[in-house]
Amino acid sequence: MADVEVKGLSDNEAESLCKISDSSTDDFIMQQTMYRIKDPRRSLPFYTEVLGMKLLLKLDVPSMKFTVYFMGYAKSSDIPNDDTERRLWVGRQPGCIELTHNWGTENDDSTHYHTGNSDPRGFGHIGLSVPDVNKACDRFERLGVEFIKRPRDGNMKNIAFIKDPDGYWIEILTGQSLVDIKMN
């Protein structure tokens, strides 16, 4: 097979592939990404203390032996106290992380979750926009967070990648990070 130049879609092709959305989707939001976690005693402190998220909602499902923890960014005063109102409110919040804990995995040494960053590759990471990548990473360093990439490493500067307790990758960036990506 002859060598073929491989490259991404042109701007025009990408635009032509994107269709005008139907008005029936106007109120859709990207509400959550779900991660399976091994031990909530490790994950909850990471997402709250390290990343500054709040526990928006905890739902136990005893019949299926799991609990989900909806994490996100919100003011505590905005989170409803009434259970029904809180559930409805969480269902309308964009950009949540649903941490799913299957009971007993924290005691099972054979339980490991695939993060998508080893073969076979798939899911890659979530991204958090912060005011200052370097200051955020200095704080992560002090808290003992594991880094995949620091802001000054590699070809793409001013972005970082850290790992959560289950090994999921989290990109740390600013809006300026997207501006700074070099175009060839």
Q: Is 171 a catalytic residue?
A: yes
Specify the DSSP element, H or E, that contains 173: strand 169-173
Cβ–Cβ < 8 Å for 177, 158: yes
For 79, 85, 93, 117, the CA distances from 32, given in Å and listed in that order, are: 17, 18, 8, 20
Residues 6+ apart with CB under 8 A from 95: 30, 31, 32, 72, 73
Point out the catalytic residue in the list 15, 49, 146, 171.
Answer: 171
* Displacement of CA 158 from its chain's centroid (Å): 18
- Indicate the DSSP class of residue 48: I
Give catalytic residues, as residue numbers: 171
